[in-house]
Amino acid sequence: MNVKLGKTRMIGPHKGNEMRSLQHSMRSRFKHTPQKKGDAKLKLMSFGDGKRGDDKLGEMASGHLFMMISTKGCPHGAVTALATTKPTTKMKAIDRIEIQVPIRSINPDIQESNVGKNEAASLTVPLAVVGSPIIAERQTVGSIDAAFKAKGKKYVGVATDQGRFSVSQNAQIINDYMGQVTPENSMKWDTIESSQNNFRFTTADALVNFATTNNKVIRGHTLVWHSQLPGWVSSISSSTTLTSVIQNHVTKTMTQWKGKIYAWDVINEMLSEQGGLRDSVFSRVLGEGFVKIAFDAARAADPTVKLYINDYNLDSASYAKTTGMANLVKKWLAAGIPIDGIGSQTHLGSGQSSGTAGALSTLAGSGVSELALTEVDIAGASSNDYVAVFRACVEQPKCIGITVWGIRDPDSWRPSTNCLLFDSSYKPKAAYTAVVNYLRS
């Protein structure tokens, strides 16, 4: 249907001629039936280069300008939609535009999808500019998550927490480029249950709420780990007590977000570099038996979530830790322990990416149903290294997703190595562009 704008006004520094330079008509297609016909307000929030502050929602990608539009006045509540335009000239940023569009007919040509409890419609909005510089100069290559999904994979994500995603630039990158989040610290034992049976979920709740609101996959991290463990757990010497403590912690933590989390790292970093058990309170008191205790409790707490064992230095096919992990998991699966996946953290040095494909093949041989690269960062962040890691996952049928351990270099756990995909100014590095280009090739 052809729709004329009822009212148009600009909020921000650009007024007058720049406003009049916008074409005062647009064509929209909806597959949505309002229960009551009438006006729906579309608010185009800050498309452009995003330099003006927190509410930037636009980007240039493949010659198209993407704008997030929130519609109000629809009987089903607020709707979030994505509009695309192909501008013929570069324009500078504007803060936001409010327009009122009468919706009086239906066109079934456009597909509809659901986002949470709200409906989302995809709108195509041609936007013309008459000689005025009001479209952003910024150009990006688009979403790495979308490009990865186009290869048949589940997500590309990032480690974050409330202190990170409350920063507008971080939140914007997650929303624009990522499809999954992992809590960096908020779900670890010392945060959630620092004293026995005193559970605090507030910080992790914030992450889960952020992720579900923005339609992001969540990986829970982590339930049983020798590090960031409260002293009251480390001091347990009774096998009966430790068994009960593990079961209680796993059950209450997982129940808190049951149905909202895709996968849990049930056990983290339990192996030595020789491929045997790491020395910890769990292995000292319970031996190998703590694996069954933890995974059985996890499966009972949430029968549908994917259950992972996660570790680092699983980066070479023949390395003792890699083969040890594969052999142990194969044995545990045969014994009926419900392990769905192996997570390889993939903290790499420069040039170390060449072993990733072989390592994934070894881990796949364990018999798990899926694999994931769970904490990726690569010293130097070379394009060749990052492309090799992504290629390894793309070409391994069991590898379903990749999580990068942070957004920008200063926020990394090893900041001096410049190991992430975004620099200190939140700009995507050459490695980001190289990965997206590879995925689209």
> Which residues are the active-site residues?
269, 375
375, 160 contact by CB (below 8 A): no
DSSP-based three-state secondary structure for 434:
helix
Tokens standing for 255? Answer: 């129940």
Tokens standing for 175? Answer: 């929303």
Backbone angles phi, psi at 44, to 5 degrees: -90, 110
β-strands 118-124, 112-115 pairing? antiparallel
In residues, how long is the chain? Answer: 441
Helical segments of 56-149, H only: 144-149
127, 85 contact by CB (below 8 A): yes
Q: Which amino acid is at 207?
A: L
Cα dist from 111 to 58, 124, 145, 234, whole Å: 22, 11, 20, 54
Tokens standing for 208? Answer: 């889960």
> CB count, 10 Å around CB of 416?
9
User: Cα angle at 10 between 4 and 12, to 5 degrees?
Assistant: 165
Q: Residue 413 and residue 296: Cα distance in Å, rounded?
A: 32
Strand boundaries in 194-282, DSSP class E:
217-225, 263-268
210, 181 contact by CB (below 8 A): yes
112, 32 contact by CB (below 8 A): yes
Please list, in sequence order, all residues whose beta carbon lies within 8 angstroms of the beta carbon of residue 308, skipping any fewer than 6 positions away.
Answer: 263, 264, 265, 266, 339, 340, 341, 342, 343, 372, 374
- How many Cα atoms are found within 13 Å in the side-chain-facing hemisphere of 407? 24
Tokens standing for 278? Answer: 């790491």
The CA-based dihedral angle spanning residues 227, 232, 234, 235, taken in that order and rounded to the nearest 10 degrees: 160
